[in-house]
Amino acid sequence: MRTSRLSLLLVVLTTPTLSVATPPEPRVETTDAPSKEVPETPTADGSDAAVIIEPAETVIRKAHQALKDERYRDATELLTRAASSSPDDPDLQNELGVALFQQRAFKAAALAFARATKLRPQAPNPWMNLATALRLSGEAKRAAAAYHTYLQLRPMDVHAIYGLALAFLDFADYDKSEKTLVVAERLCDDDDVTEGLPGGSDAAEALLPRIARARERIALERTELGKPVAERADARRLRGDLQGALVLYDQAVMEAPKDLDLLVRRGRTRAAMQELEGARMDYESALAIDPRHPAALDALKALGQP
């Protein structure tokens, strides 16, 4: 039975072509490496004094406590300083990505995770984190590639297989998404496979209703094929699939870059996802074409802009 499951898994994952409602927690990479110190850096006033040297593990421990206390900015600032002082430390880069991810700054998090994967390419967790951050920032094809790399390191991780299915779904490869969901569903029922994964068998079993919802989304989106891209994006947004809507809005804006209402709708979607800078750019792009566009003015005002 396991041989047939593995064969099916390989068929899905070796194909050359390449929304979760609540983003999964990014994974912390732990190693047995010796304690590393963050090197000295000059002070802001240019004096010869240096900042206090702390091992990277101490910085990470403080950042973890800050995140636990929901002091996200403190954690980010602490890790940013440490990562700047020690740019070749993959643990610091991964932890910085975790802090940014917790603030839904998915694109910035993806950059940090990408640096971590380059510095330590055989560490699996940064690849999983990178894939999730890329998917949630709308880069579904790059996310699929990162999931593939992660699954070469941990081929039976049902969470990653489910994430890969969502990435396929995000760029409308429904056949691959369905096949990958089948693999994830079968592995969720195998305690021997799932007990060693984060959260164990219980967490894997909790994926089953989400797999069912992904199948419902596939069926629904297939009924929408043939409709204008902007209309499909609007439909996804109305039913709460903000990530899926954003993917289609990006495509629609490429086709009609001067459609001001479309820019505003994409901006509102980004704002709902807490991607405030992207939302601001959309509203300002609309106002650059028509400075009196009422919807863009109202939306920009809602972001707290003059």
SS (H, E, C) the chain: CHHHHHHHHHHHHCCCCCCCCCCCCCCCCCCCCCCCECCCCECCCCCCCECCCCEHHHHHHHHHHHHHCCCHHHHHHHHHHHHHHCCCCHHHHHHHHHHHHHCCCHHHHHHHHHHHHHHCCCCHHHHHHHHHHHHHCCCHHHHHHHHHHHHHHCCCCHHHHHHHHHHHHHCCCHHHHHHHHHHHHHHHCCHHHHCCCCCHHHHHHHHHHHHHHHHHHHHHHHHHCCCCHHHHHHHHHHCCCHHHHHHHHHHHHHHCCCCHHHHHHHHHHHHHCCCHHHHHHHHHHHHHHCCCCHHHHHHHHHCCCC
Please name the CATH architecture into which domain 1-15+51-150 falls.
Answer: Alpha Horseshoe (1.25)
**Phi, psi angle pair for 222, to nearest 5°:** -65, -35
Distances (CA, A) of 254 to 64, 178, 258, 281: 40, 28, 9, 15
Task: Inform me whether the pLDDT recorded for 277 exceeds 70.
Answer: yes
Q: What is the pLDDT of residue 101?
A: 93
Whole-number percent of the chain with pLDDT over 70:
82
> Which residue would you say has higher pLDDT here, 144 or 275?
144
The angle, 0 to 180 degrees and rounded to 10, between the axes of the packed helices 2-13 and 174-188 is: 150
> 218 near 170, Cβ under 8 Å?
no
**Residue 26's pLDDT band (cuts 50, 70, 90):** low
**Residue 68's pLDDT band (cuts 50, 70, 90):** confident
- For 14-18, 186-190, 252-256, 302-306, which range has the lowest pLDDT when averaged over its residues? 14-18
Specify the pTM: 0.72
Report domain extents, the chain. 1-15+51-150, 156-225, 227-302
**Residue 25's pLDDT band (cuts 50, 70, 90):** low
What is the mean pLDDT of the segment spanning 18-35?
44
**Phi, psi angle pair for 50, to nearest 5°:** -130, 160
**Residue 193's pLDDT band (cuts 50, 70, 90):** confident
Say how far apart CA 216 and CA 273 lie, in whole Å: 22
> 86 near 56, Cβ under 8 Å?
yes
Q: Which fold has domain 227-302?
A: 1.25.40
Whole-number percent of the chain with pLDDT over 90:
50
Q: Mean pLDDT of all residues in the chain? A: 82
Domains 1-15+51-150 and 227-302 share a fold: yes
Q: What is the pLDDT of residue 52?
A: 44
**Residue 31's pLDDT band (cuts 50, 70, 90):** very low
Task: Tell which residue, 129, 185, 181, has the closest CA to residue 154.
Answer: 129
Q: What is the pLDDT of residue 268?
A: 96
> Which residue would you say has higher pLDDT here, 72 or 117?
117
Say how far apart CA 280 and CA 299 lie, in whole Å: 9
